[in-house]
Amino acid sequence: MGTATIDRVSPDRTDARPQDASHGGGSIDVLFAVSPSNARSVYMPFYFLYLAGYVEKYGITCEIANPHFHTEKENRDAILEEIARLKPRWVGLASFCTDYAVVSDLAFAIKKRFPAVKIVVGNAQPSVNPADFLYEGGPFDIVVRGEGELTLRDIIETDKAGKDVTRITGIAYLENGKVVQSPTRELMDLKDCGQPAYHKIDVSWYAHVNKYLLRRIPTSCGVIFTGRGCPFECGFCAANAVWQANSSDATRAPKARWRPLEHVMAELHDFEKVHRFDFFYILDDVFGLTEDEIRAFCAAYKKSGLKMLWGAETRVNCVRNLEILKVMKDAGCIQLDFGIESGSPKMLKIVNKGITVDQTYRAFELCKKAGIRTFANILLNLPEESEEDLELTHRLLEKVNPTYVSVGVTQPYPGTEFYHRYAKNIPKEDYSKLSRILPPEEFRLAAHKLNLQTLMVDWMWRYRIDTFFERGLLTAPWIYWRKIVSSSKRLAYLRYFLRDFVRSPVHYIVREYFPSQVMDLARQSVHSIGSF
């Protein structure tokens, strides 16, 4: 079974079920359970890995239930069996708006079978709107608002001491039918955060070769954060909603914080030497805010002697000159991802993106000169968007010619400026409709009358997001191929290449000649898992 994952636990197994399933006395303090709808994500459950790594330092016993079955029911049943086996006093859950229904169903199932187990929930949606989780007859006991490490430790230690957990800062709870929010807890110093608890999951499952982290080129790729937060306030983004829940400042000004470089390098060392990743991807909300930050990271990485290649998510206004890109490339960077969103100055202003079209042109031109692959993310259905705005975006993409383009449909997620400005009070029963792939017309923000789902498909075809042959391989630099050939996983890469060589044409033909059937299947998937 491994230390904490339940990859090999059968959902049909009954031998682990106790005669009295109402326990809450606890063999361990807390079991973190990954949402059944996220079971097969290529992204590790970072929120739980950080929480587990932090509370373990203080003697709190914890595990992570992280099944990888294909259906929600199988994953939910596997989590219930892990609760039966480990007998936690607390179960920790995490929720975004799109998997709200899935997480709630899991919580109800836990309370039904294990009524004495206490459930704490955190992450974006609980931080944005605790009332979604706290109501009469609901399964959740406590909501963590904002950053979770300090608060969760406080909850567990206070509860173990038999004291009143409602006196803890940074939480919300139900009292006499009303949601009560305790005083705000300030953000932690990230030097105290420590290392994610990778020993609590089966990292090898995430080390499998895939083409979704370094976009469209197969990699065995780990994902890392070098910091938290973002100083920008894009209207469509909920990234700062969690961190702002920790702000007692009336302005709730967003800010970025960084982990100590020695912590980051230690984590990357384990990626390469322990888990055998060949690549890593920096998933910060924005990497490289300053040149000093970039230079410090690249110098530390080169000094470490590690050989993984890497990519990062950044902004076009953070790429200022060719010299800094050469520093990054010399340190192993092969790709930069940019959210350029639109080619319309009007749209960029409306979404408060804080960039200009000229900055986008320059960033992509510099990346080409440096020999770094580029990824461009585009958003459709922006507020007041016209067909003219869409045409300006086409012109921008034609000129900058990214290595790869991704397209999504803007949704007014709770916690974003767009939600407060355009879509207040979306019923929580409708959160699962907030899909960037199959958007419903009821969440239209654009001024044009083009069908949003048809528009999405048209753009996917136009920018060859699905092609007869995976063209990402043709754009891979020679250093990528050298890494693949020298990798201990080269046979796994070969198998992936051969499988994808067959799979890509099949997917292309199905989408080309049976589009209605593809859309029907996609709608069923969205309905079944609450997100896409």
Same domain for 163 and 243, yes or no, is no
The pLDDT value given to residue 531: 32
Q: Would you say residue 404 has pLDDT above 60?
A: yes
Q: Does 326 share its domain with 224?
A: yes
CATH number (domain holding residue 460): 3.80.30.20
Does 211 share its domain with 177?
no
> What's the rounded Cα separation, in Å, for the pair 384 and 88?
50
Question: Can you tell me the mean pLDDT for 73-88?
Answer: 97
4: confidence class by pLDDT, cuts 50, 70, 90: very low
Domain housing 223 = 207-529
Residue 15 — pLDDT band, cuts 50, 70, 90?
very low
pLDDT at 111 exceeding the cut of 50: yes
What are the Cα distances from residue 66, in Å, to 30, 152, 359, 513? Answer: 14, 19, 41, 37
Question: Does position 21 have pLDDT exceeding 50, yes or no?
Answer: no
Question: Is the per-residue pLDDT at 1 higher than 80?
Answer: no
Q: What is the pLDDT of residues 484-532, one digit of tens each?
A: 999 999 999 999 998 887 776 666 666 555 555 445 544 444 333 333 2
| Residue 148 dihedral angles phi and psi, to the nearest 5° | -100, -20
Co-location of 291 and 376 in the same domain: yes
Same domain for 170 and 237? no
Asked whether residue 361 is assigned to any structural domain, the reply reads yes
* 21 belongs to a structural domain: no
Looking at the structure, do residues 215 and 160 belong to the same domain, yes or no? no
Please say whether the beta carbons of 11 and 81 come within 8 A.
yes
Cα 66 from chain centroid?
15
Q: What percent of the chain has pLDDT over 70?
A: 87
Same domain, 127 and 274: no
**Separation of first and last alpha carbons in the chain:** 29
Domain final residue, candidates 181, 215, 238: 181
Residue 26 or 223, more confident: 223
Residues 216 and 140 in one domain: no
Tell whether 42 is covered by a domain: yes
For residue 67, give the DSSP letter.
-
Kindly report the length of the chain: 532
Q: Is residue 10 part of a domain?
A: no
Whether 253 has a pLDDT exceeding 90, the answer reads: no
Q: What is the pLDDT of residues 455-470, one digit of tens each?
A: 998 998 888 776 656 6
Asked if residue 500 lies in contact with residue 491, where contact means CB atoms within 8 angstroms, the answer is no
Q: Where are the alpha helices (DSSP H) in 373-475?
A: 387-400, 417-422, 452-462
Residue 2 domain flag: no
Higher pLDDT, 511 or 52: 52
- Whether residue 32 contacts residue 52, with contact meaning beta carbons closer than 8 Å, is answered with yes
pTM of the model: 0.90
Task: Of 392, 394, 439, 391, give the one whose Cα is nearest residue 413.
Answer: 439
CA-CA distance, 55 to 154, in Å (whole number)?
9
Burial class (CB in 10 A: 0-12, 13-18, 19+), 85: buried
CATH number at residue 61: 3.40.50.280
Could you read off the pLDDT of 333-390 as tens digits, one per residue?
999 999 999 999 999 999 999 999 999 999 999 999 999 999 999 999 999 999 999 9
Confirm whether 194 is domain-assigned: no
**Among the three residues 165, 181, 197, which one is the final residue of a domain in this structure?**
181
Answer with the one of 164, 181, 198 that is the final residue of a domain: 181
| Closest to 220 in 3D by CA, of 283, 279, 273 | 279
Q: Which residues pair with 181 in a beta bridge?
A: 172
Concatenated DSSP letters of 269-304: HHHHHTS--SEEEE--SSS-SSHHHHHHHHHHHHHH
What total number of domains does the chain contain? 2
The reply to whether 190 falls in a domain is no
- pLDDT 10s digits, 155-164: 999 999 999 9
At 140, give phi and psi (nearest 5°): -90, 135
Mean pLDDT of the chain: 88
Same domain, 161 and 235: no
**156, 122: one domain:** yes
* DSSP per-residue string spanning 200-221: GS-HHHHTS-BSTTTTTS-B-E
The reply to whether 1 falls in a domain is no
305 with 158, same domain?
no
Q: Cβ(333)–Cβ(370) under 8 Å?
A: no
User: Same structural domain for residues 213 and 319?
Assistant: yes
Q: State the residue for tokens 């984590």.
A: 267
Spatial neighbors of 95 by CB under 8 A, at least 6 apart, are 35, 103, 104, 121, 123, 124, 125, 126, 133
Residue 131's pLDDT is what?
A: 97
